[in-house]
Chain A
Amino acid sequence: MNPAPHVAVRNLSVTVRAPDGSPLRIVDDVSFTIQRGEVMALIGESGSGKTTIALSLLGYARSGAKISGAITVGKASFGGAGQATLAAQRGNRITYVAQSAAAAFNPSRRVIEQVIEPALIHGTASAAEARKHSMALFEALALPNPETIGSRYPHELSGGQLQRLMAAMALITRPDLVIFDEPTTALDVTTQVEVLQAFRKVVREQGATGVYVSHDLAVVAQMADQILVLNRGKVREQNSVKAVLETPSDDYTQTLLAAAQPVIKAAVPTVAPTAVGAAPLLSIEGIHAGYGAIDRNGCAAHPVLTDVSLHIGRGAAVGVIGESGSGKSTVARVVAGLLAPTAGTVSLDGEPLAASLNRRTREQLRRIQIVFQNADIALNPAHSVGEILGRVLRFYHGSSSHQARQRIAELLDLIRLPAGIADRRCDELSGGQKQRVNLARALAANPDVILCDEVTSALDTVVREAILELLAELRRDLGVAYLFISHDIATVKALCDEIVVLYKGTRVESGLRDSYAAPPFHPYTDLLISSVPELRTDWLSSVGPQASARFAHMHESAALCRFVPRCPVAVAGRCDVTPPPHRAMTAGNTVLCHRTESELTGS
């Protein structure tokens, strides 16, 4: 073992002033060391102090924060003098990779200039050397065309590519410490795999020492050597990755591990199959929809959905998954009447609904409720919880204020919040509480179906599991049906009995949950499933590099399978010529693909 640790944090405490003026310890007596070339992960829920620790390592303290304890990185220390302070080392010996690379790049300058800038500013290399080094980094980060990609502008690159370029920027000065702050949280799973693989390769090759901040244990398991589990500013457990995953000693770590693999414990009865011939509760038939002006042929300027159909039985839960931009929210908006489809119908109990809101009856509106992802902007900050729920009760049920008060108490009980919360403003609530109120507002209408648009995506894993649990219970007790939209297949599997996969606005696969347990899948579903990080350290190596698509040069076309440019198993002469058929598989799922069942099972 190295005698002097490369990075040492001893008894670090950070105290800030709470809104009411009292001192609040957000980091409480944290100590750890990192050897050169190792990666230490800081893991915990939001508010656990992980970002504060990362910022202290950068020599940065929030205004009004009091820091005590000692931090040393190489020769620099927090309280050191002159060039030896952490703050003076920032950007040179200590660098940072943030969550949103898109916000970190200047849109008007070529990326290469921005990537080598730290080396030039700090004089660690000449421009020519820095350029050469950056090419090597681009290569190591598996960026396409490492020689020329630097001459592009940020807006010409994808989120995953920018994230990797940001890592190159952080490594260009060969720093003593790189801090990764949730660098893949904003990415789609499919992109996340590539970025994680690139990060791991470059960190190993460069022998960089890193701190990796994340809330996702499975991601951390791929990247780190050591894990520090934080909860409310305190260290709950510190150990090697293997030990934390396999033999967690702390009960909080165990909670985190359990929440990382959501399995709904609330028993959900399998939905009684709708009687043959009876219309499903909600059915969506051949929807085309988009944004912008509508032309003479009835097509929107920016078409988003193409021929999307799905059916929801009474009390059923249907999940919709896909990458961001695949049109999941658009489906919900069409069903809610917020966006008129250009073709196709939405019907409730067999009765077609008007395309636009103001031609639907209040009763029809009541039966379909929508819940948005971000409770911060889904609840009006000017109103109290009681006012928000009361308005729904008066609007749909004409409740008197006395009735409303009673019902509000019942609703709050239903979503497990104390009755006293009715008088509070939403901005005084925590994220999980807000999302519960957000749900309660939909429940207040006594709806038949709730459209849940990414309702758990902004929440920490532990809170997310509680909300999923609640959704399952409400379904069991109230018989409410869900259209549950998420980009996370694990969440959808935990709650839904039927799952629809959307790719660029087309439904590429649909089937019962069980049919997603094993192949045959649609090649895109396969990619989605295999991209979800697993809670084992060797997962990332086992996924292997993503198979290259043979038609990567082709442009996506509405007349063919849209997945052609990314599909590893595309068939020449078929996929690039004719549109694929919907194929029924024996497991009951339907797949939009040219490949047959046996071919898809084998792949």
Chain B
Amino acid sequence: MSSTRLFRAVARLPLSGKIGLVLVIFWIVIAAIGPFIAPYPPGSFSNQEVFSESSSEFWLGSDYLGRDVLSRLLSGARFTVGLSAVAVAIAASIGTGFALMAAVGPHWVDELLSRAMDTLISIPSKIFALVLVAAFGSSLILLTVIIAITYVPGNFRIARSLAVGLARLDYVEVARARGEGRLHLALVEVLPNMIRPLCADIGLRFVFIVLLLSGLSFLGLGLQPPDADLGSLVRENTSGLAEGALAIIAPAVAIASLTVGVNLLIDAATQGKAR
């Protein structure tokens, strides 16, 4: 029943949405199995030549140290997709959780949270992340937490305006009059009706995080060697830029296709709703 419904929803997507969906699924699969299908260990110096062309042994050539680009890309994708997904999940849980508290709680909770978030949002996110990373160093966990916190206020704003609007509707009033607790109001009455627009917001924020992470890594503040996400791969190989080496083009294309894919999918899915 629900699988046929899903199938129909997919079939109804416009072409751009289908392309987006394919790209997104592709990257999720790569993130999951990438390291297992990599032909070489990502850190091994397997090629004598640096910035080599594509060959049957090295499909995407070699990087500035002669490592296999394909293998590094496959393991880098896991960092980029995984870290961004975890960070966006944390950001959305906190942001939406606060938003629900603001919507069903007493008025002063809303005031307090909204003021706090306004303060947080007024700090430019990249600079905020930069300062924290510079201050505390860059570990995988810290990086995730910092990026997540950066995106809480944005998600809170969207989720709060949705939740406050929904909490005024008659079905929530009826539940309130029945004597339902705040938790029930928030999770059962309000939350299910904001999932769809929230998904769009979360997708968009995922894209921002991918780009922020890539940006941080490019500046050398992201993941630290030997680990590398897609942004680090671009940075490592900047010296190959002049000769148009695959080692720099491939990760750049990877970032682009991931973010464009998510965007296309969100656009198509939210337009479907407006129809």
Q: Identify the A interface with B (CB < 8 A).
A: 336-338, 357, 360, 362, 365, 369-370, 372, 374, 377-383, 391-392, 395-396, 441, 445
CB contacts (< 8 Å) of A381 on chain B: these are 193
CB contacts (< 8 Å) of B157 on chain A: these are none
Q: Determine if B225 is an interface residue (Cβ-Cβ < 8 Å).
A: no
The 25 listed contacts between A and B (C-beta, < 8 Å) are A336-B177, A337-B177, A338-B173, A357-B179, A360-B179, A362-B179, A365-B179, A369-B178, A370-B173, A370-B177, A372-B170, A372-B173, A372-B174, A379-B171, A380-B171, A380-B189, A380-B192, A380-B193, A381-B193, A382-B193, A383-B192, A391-B188, A395-B178, A441-B174, A445-B178
B192 contacts A382, C-beta separation under 8 Å: yes
CB contacts (< 8 Å) of B169 on chain A: these are 377
A365 contacts B170, C-beta separation under 8 Å: no
A378 contacts B171, C-beta separation under 8 Å: yes
B174 contacts A378, C-beta separation under 8 Å: yes
Q: Within the complex, which residue of B171, B177, B180 is in contact with A338, where a contact is CB–CB below 8 Å?
A: B177
B172 CB, min distance to chain A CBs, angstroms: 8
Q: Determine if B176 is an interface residue (Cβ-Cβ < 8 Å).
A: yes
Question: Other than the known A380-B171, A445-B178, what 16 A-B pairs have Cβ atoms closer than 8 Å?
Answer: A336-B177, A338-B176, A357-B177, A365-B178, A369-B178, A370-B173, A370-B174, A370-B177, A372-B173, A377-B169, A378-B174, A379-B171, A380-B193, A381-B193, A382-B192, A395-B179
CB contacts (< 8 Å) of A337 on chain B: these are 177
> How many A-B residue pairs lie within 8 Å, measured between CB atoms?
46
C-alpha spacing A381/B169, complex, angstroms:
11
CB contacts (< 8 Å) of A357 on chain B: these are 176-177, 179
Specify the chain B residue showing the minimal Cβ separation from A379: B171
- Bitwise, B164-199 to A at CB < 8 A (1) or not (0) is 000001110110111110000000110011000000
A224 CB, min distance to chain B CBs, angstroms: 36
Q: A382-B192, A382-B193 are in contact. Are A377 and B170 (CB under 8 A)?
A: yes
CB contacts (< 8 Å) of B178 on chain A: these are 365, 369, 392, 395-396, 445
C-alpha spacing A396/B180, complex, angstroms:
10
Specify the chain B residue showing the minimal Cβ separation from A332: B177
CB contacts (< 8 Å) of A374 on chain B: these are 170
CB contacts (< 8 Å) of B176 on chain A: these are 338, 357
**Chain B, interface residues (CB within 8 Å), range:** 10 to 19
C-alpha spacing A338/B169, complex, angstroms:
13
Specify the chain B residue showing the minimal Cβ separation from A381: B193
Main secondary structure of the interface of A (DSSP, over half): mixed
CB contacts (< 8 Å) of A377 on chain B: these are 169-171
C-alpha spacing A326/B141, complex, angstroms:
59
CB contacts (< 8 Å) of B171 on chain A: these are 377-380
Counting chain A CB atoms within 10 Å of each CB, the highest count among B169, B176, B192 belongs to B169
Specify the chain A residue showing the minimal Cβ separation from B181: A358
Specify the chain B residue showing the minimal Cβ separation from A391: B188
B1 CB, min distance to chain A CBs, angstroms: 10
CB contacts (< 8 Å) of A378 on chain B: these are 170-171, 174
CB contacts (< 8 Å) of A365 on chain B: these are 177-179
Specify the chain A residue showing the minimal Cβ separation from B171: A380
CB contacts (< 8 Å) of A395 on chain B: these are 178-180
Q: For chain B, residues 23 to 69, give those with C-beta under 8 angstroms from any C-beta of chain A.
A: none
C-alpha spacing A379/B192, complex, angstroms:
13
CB contacts (< 8 Å) of B170 on chain A: these are 372, 374, 377-378
B170 CB, min distance to chain A CBs, angstroms: 4
CB contacts (< 8 Å) of A379 on chain B: these are 171
Specify the chain A residue showing the minimal Cβ separation from B189: A380
Counting chain B CB atoms within 10 Å of each CB, the highest count among A337, A377, A395, A445 belongs to A377
C-alpha spacing A396/B173, complex, angstroms:
17
B192 CB, min distance to chain A CBs, angstroms: 4
C-alpha spacing A379/B174, complex, angstroms:
9
C-alpha spacing A365/B180, complex, angstroms:
10
B40 CB, min distance to chain A CBs, angstroms: 49
A15 CB, min distance to chain B CBs, angstroms: 19
A329 CB, min distance to chain B CBs, angstroms: 11
C-alpha spacing A421/B189, complex, angstroms:
20
C-alpha spacing A362/B180, complex, angstroms:
9
C-alpha spacing A380/B193, complex, angstroms:
8
Specify the chain A residue showing the minimal Cβ separation from B172: A380
B186 CB, min distance to chain A CBs, angstroms: 13
CB contacts (< 8 Å) of B189 on chain A: these are 380
C-alpha spacing A190/B154, complex, angstroms:
49
C-alpha spacing A64/B244, complex, angstroms:
50
C-alpha spacing A382/B172, complex, angstroms:
12
B273 CB, min distance to chain A CBs, angstroms: 13
C-alpha spacing A333/B262, complex, angstroms:
45
C-alpha spacing A441/B192, complex, angstroms:
20
Specify the chain A residue showing the minimal Cβ separation from B182: A358
A441 CB, min distance to chain B CBs, angstroms: 7
Specify the chain B residue showing the minimal Cβ separation from A365: B179
Specify the chain B residue showing the minimal Cβ separation from A445: B178
Specify the chain B residue showing the minimal Cβ separation from A374: B170
A431 CB, min distance to chain B CBs, angstroms: 15
C-alpha spacing A362/B178, complex, angstroms:
8
B100 CB, min distance to chain A CBs, angstroms: 14
CB contacts (< 8 Å) of A370 on chain B: these are 173-174, 177
Please name the 5 residue pairs, one residue from A and one from B, whose CB atoms are nearest each other, closest first.
Answer: A382-B192, A378-B170, A365-B179, A372-B170, A380-B171
Specify the chain A residue showing the minimal Cβ separation from B1: A423
C-alpha spacing A232/B118, complex, angstroms:
53
A344 CB, min distance to chain B CBs, angstroms: 19
C-alpha spacing A338/B177, complex, angstroms:
6
CB contacts (< 8 Å) of A441 on chain B: these are 174
C-alpha spacing A35/B136, complex, angstroms:
85
C-alpha spacing A370/B179, complex, angstroms:
12
C-alpha spacing A374/B169, complex, angstroms:
10
B179 CB, min distance to chain A CBs, angstroms: 4
CB contacts (< 8 Å) of A382 on chain B: these are 192-193
A379 CB, min distance to chain B CBs, angstroms: 6
